[in-house]
Amino acid sequence: MKILENKTISDVPGFKAVGIHSGVKKNGNNDLCVIYSEKPAVAAAVFTKNKVKAAPVLVSMEHIKSENIQAIVANSGNANACTGSKGFDNAVTMTNITAEALGLSAKEVMVASTGIIGFPMPIDKITSGIETACKQLSKIGGESAAKAIATTDTFTKKITVEITIEDKPIYISGIAKGSGMIHPNMGTMLSFITTNINISKSLLQFVLKSSIENTYNMVSVDGDTSTNDTVIVMANGQAENTFLYAMNGHYMQFKEALDFVNKELAKMIAKDGEGATKLIETDVIHAKTIADAKLCAKSVIGSSLVKSALFGSDANWGRILCAIGYADGNFMPEKVDISFKNDVGIIQVAKNGMGIPFDEPLAKSILEQEYVNILIDLKDGEHSATAWGCDLSYDYVKINGDYRS
Amino acid sequence: MKILENKTISDVPGFKAVGIHSGVKKNGNNDLCVIYSEKPAVAAAVFTKNKVKAAPVLVSMEHIKSENIQAIVANSGNANACTGSKGFDNAVTMTNITAEALGLSAKEVMVASTGIIGFPMPIDKITSGIETACKQLSKIGGESAAKAIATTDTFTKKITVEITIEDKPIYISGIAKGSGMIHPNMGTMLSFITTNINISKSLLQFVLKSSIENTYNMVSVDGDTSTNDTVIVMANGQAENTFLYAMNGHYMQFKEALDFVNKELAKMIAKDGEGATKLIETDVIHAKTIADAKLCAKSVIGSSLVKSALFGSDANWGRILCAIGYADGNFMPEKVDISFKNDVGIIQVAKNGMGIPFDEPLAKSILEQEYVNILIDLKDGEHSATAWGCDLSYDYVKINGDYRS
């Protein structure tokens, strides 16, 4: 597997994309994007588990049933959530206008939105924006599309990898939007992935679903789960590999690459959590079951006390042990070892559930880095899990305490 | 039921108390207290559900099995948690020294600690402190005892009520320690209650357990659950009412008063959450079941996004709807009404799951108060629940980002 540094979703053969400013965002930033496959494609998608689902989620949940999906239209600045039947109509209109401009049926278009909840969509701006965007679709538009789904994101999240199946290059490329409200079961998170693999719709859905369990669903920024989360993968088959419909070796190769793409995007989302100053990775190892490992890892990454301590570069391992203690996962408190590590070094701070003397200046210098790994060894089995999150800073409060931020 | 403004735990007939500075806290504040019943008493207790239980919790869980409990010894500044067998020995020593000084057996003494996790107890300071404290027990020592269990608390939490059963005055008086790490299932929370009622141990345990479900367990400051939470009620029978052992009318009268005491202490804990600027009360009404109402109320009070919005006095009802959406409780999104209210007024901001136009200056002035009630009408049944929490401020991050705070 190769990572292609300067490529993005529109570089995948057969795909075009574009991001423009339609007028929803007041600061003039891109706020609308279209991703388009020139030829019929299959798609798979996963949506928020929040009972309050935004209008575009409800519409896309219907459209994903179509055998062919050829376009995604997405906007930022307004989430079109809690907007009633008018909101639903507006989401349908977004797919209608896109379909008309691209010569598709509306059911072949997926729609997604992110931004403020509970305000009517400025649908006139959006519809004329879609018409403009569809005319500007290009092979170099992926970067502008990535910018168009950002809200409080501080950097563009994208990754592209290449694998080879039957001597044919297969590309998998994704863009994502993260920031606040990211939690297991997907916070306000959009992720759009294009690939040229030739795969069945049902296998694509299966591999996506299993992939998000260990990637996006292991990320927490603030414990909230949004109304709008959507991950979509479009596969246009242009690589012309032998049609992939079973879990053979080629499937495993594709799965590994898709997992990598999703994991990298998930880590970027965690790192760019609202107000975050560092990426926190929690590895729980030697758990009795995978479920135990996951529950413990997520609990640590979700603890406001742990997150505040890490903001202050404070080796407060007691809060970490406390956080796994109130998780639903099983473990034996008197067996737990805890270490912090990254490029600077590794330092063990707790052994068998108790503190041990450690080099405090070294701990501080490890914790002051932009990436910190918390290694929790439960010494109770053979399973492990990883979760990603960020610290809790003054800026998180500032960003989220502003009216209509 | 009467509220006795200036009374506290040592004013209840037959009880004495004291709080002193033993030397654990560096700032010279009280850090050790003893509460003592002159005559044999029954006691009930509830402890943290965290799997990582501090040494004093493990010791008190054993001691509560004794028929007679006559003293509580508690310290702040060091939690004696994650301290291994040495920590366990230290907690036992605390009960031994207290028992010796008061002529009791160690099993008749309950012990509790709060403070930093994972550091050895300065047991010499504690033991000589206990000896000093036991000599200073008095009828006016309740206030100093309340101060001795405080950590980052900004005010003393105490309440006393009086009811009359068979023409005899029954007093119920409590002190509590709250602040950070408070969550359903009791954050670092200590609550000690004295009463002169004549009641069976098993009925006292039953009424306490049912009372905490709707009081302390409905409070969230930051979602973390501590290793040390302990609620203890001691009843010395000196009111000489007919021995209460069944759920009759007198029981209901006592239950109502105990619920009130616990609810008021719970609200004080929420209001004094670390860095909090306001008390948030969430009423969920017309839910299908009590469980649905509780889950929805707790989810709102626990949402960092809702808490940040309230810090900024932002009527962001979308985040409230979103927070009940990811709760495990059932409801119909398209039926939900949301209002904010307090002394300033009441303002409805959402109807049938959608925003409605509202007077924004009025909303702002309601939300700027130190007490805000969020009223969520699910219009889906007959059950209701209330939860308490606080906003999320810069100061929360500051307090918890400092090393060894």
Residue extent(s) of CATH 3.60.70.12 domains in chain A: 2-269
Q: Quick: pLDDT tens for B120-132.
A: 999 999 999 999 9
> In this prediction, what percent of chain B has a pLDDT beyond 70?
93
- Give the DSSP letter string of A275-338: T--SEEEEEEEEESSHHHHHHHHHHHHH-HHHHHHHHTT---HHHHHHHHHTSSS---GGG-EE
Q: Determine which of B85, B305, B337, B358 to mutate to test the interface with A (most A C-beta atoms within 10 Å).
A: B305
Q: How many beta-carbon pairs below 8 A join chains A and B?
A: 204
Shortest CA distance from B180: residue in chain A = A305
Q: Quick: pLDDT tens for A298-324.
A: 999 988 888 888 888 888 898 899 889
The listed CATH number (3.60.70.12, 3.40.190.10, 3.40.50.920, 1.10.730.10) that belongs to domain B2-271: 3.60.70.12
Shortest CA distance from A310: residue in chain B = B401
User: In one letter, which amino acid is B107?
Assistant: K
Shortest CA distance from A396: residue in chain B = B308
Residues of B in contact with A51 (CB under 8 A): 324-326, 331, 333
Q: Quick: pLDDT tens for A372-400.
A: 999 999 999 999 999 998 888 777 666 66
Q: Nearest by CB to B118, which of A309, A355, A402? A: A355
Q: Nearest by CB to A82, which of B225, B318, B393? A: B318
Say yes or no for a CB contact (<8 Å) between B308 and A401.
yes
What is the torsional sign of CA A90, A95, A96, A102?
Answer: positive
Q: Quick: pLDDT tens for A41-75.
A: 999 999 988 888 999 999 999 999 999 999 999 99
Confidence of residue B186 (pLDDT cuts 50, 70, 90): very low
Residues of A in contact with B305 (CB under 8 A): 180-181, 222, 224, 400
Residue extent(s) of CATH 3.60.70.12 domains in chain B: 2-271
How near does any CA of chain A get to the CA of B273, in Å? 13
- Give the DSSP letter string of B211-248: HHHTTGGGEESSS---S--EEEEEE--TT--S-B-SSS
Residue A108: per-residue pLDDT: 98
Say yes or no for a CB contact (<8 Å) between A304 and B398.
no
| Residue A289 a catalytic site member | no
Residue B181: per-residue pLDDT: 46
Does residue A160 have a pLDDT over 90?
A: yes
Taking each helix axis as running N to C, give the angle between helix B290-302 and helix B317-325, from 0 to 180 degrees, rounded to the nearest 10. 130
Q: Nearest by CB to A117, which of B312, B318, B400? A: B318
The listed CATH number (1.20.120.530, 3.40.50.1820, 3.40.50.620, 3.10.20.340) that belongs to domain A279-401: 3.10.20.340
Q: Determine which of B298, B304, B334, B348 to mutate to test the interface with A (most A C-beta atoms within 10 Å).
A: B304
Residues of B in contact with A81 (CB under 8 A): 318, 322
Mean of pLDDT values over B360-367: 94
Average pLDDT, rounded, for chain A:
91
Point out the residues of B that are catalytic: 188
The tokens describing A330, both together, are 């099983």
Q: Nearest by CB to A50, which of B311, B322, B396? A: B322
Q: Determine which of A113, A224, A360 to mutate to test the interface with B (most B C-beta atoms within 10 Å).
A: A224
Residue B223: per-residue pLDDT: 56
> In this prediction, what percent of chain B has a pLDDT beyond 90?
73
Active-site entry in A93, A114, A127, A188:
A188
Residues of A in contact with B277 (CB under 8 A): none
DSSP H helical segments within B286-331, as ranges?
A: 290-302, 304-311, 317-325
User: In one letter, which amino acid is B337?
Assistant: D
Q: What are phi and psi of B329, to 5 degrees?
A: -75, 150
Q: What are phi and psi of A113, to 5 degrees?
A: -140, 155
Residues of A in contact with B89 (CB under 8 A): none
Residue B403: per-residue pLDDT: 39
Cα distances (angstroms) measured from residue B150 to each of B33, B116, B238: 11, 13, 29
Contact between A372 and A310 (Cβ < 8 Å): yes
Say yes or no for a CB contact (<8 Å) between B311 and A50.
no
Q: Which of A316-320, B72-76, B390-394 has the lowest mean pLDDT?
A: B390-394
Mean of pLDDT values over B213-235: 84
Q: Please choose, from the candidates B56, B59, B14, B53, the residue with its C-alpha nearest in 3D space to the C-alpha of residue B37.
A: B14
Say yes or no for a CB contact (<8 Å) between A227 and B325.
yes
Mean of pLDDT values over A3-8: 95
Residue extent(s) of CATH 3.10.20.340 domains in chain A: 279-401
Q: Nearest by CB to B392, which of A313, A331, A397? A: A397
Cα distances (angstroms) measured from residue B170 to each of B175, B208, B246: 17, 17, 17
Q: Determine which of B49, B51, B90 to mutate to test the interface with A (most A C-beta atoms within 10 Å).
A: B51
Does residue B404 have a pLDDT over 80?
A: no
Does residue B137 have a pLDDT over 90?
A: yes
Q: Please choose, from the candidates A332, A331, A303, A298, the residue with its C-alpha nearest in 3D space to the C-alpha of residue A317.
A: A303
| Structural class in CATH, domain A2-269 | alpha beta
Residue A183: per-residue pLDDT: 44
Residue A401: per-residue pLDDT: 63
Average pLDDT, rounded, for chain B:
91
Q: Quick: pLDDT tens for B264-322.
A: 999 998 888 777 888 999 999 999 999 999 999 999 998 888 888 888 888 889 889 98
Residues of B in contact with A84 (CB under 8 A): 334, 352-354
Does residue B345 have a pLDDT over 50?
A: yes
Shortest CA distance from B299: residue in chain A = A224
ipTM of this complex > 0.85? no
Mean of pLDDT values over A280-285: 96
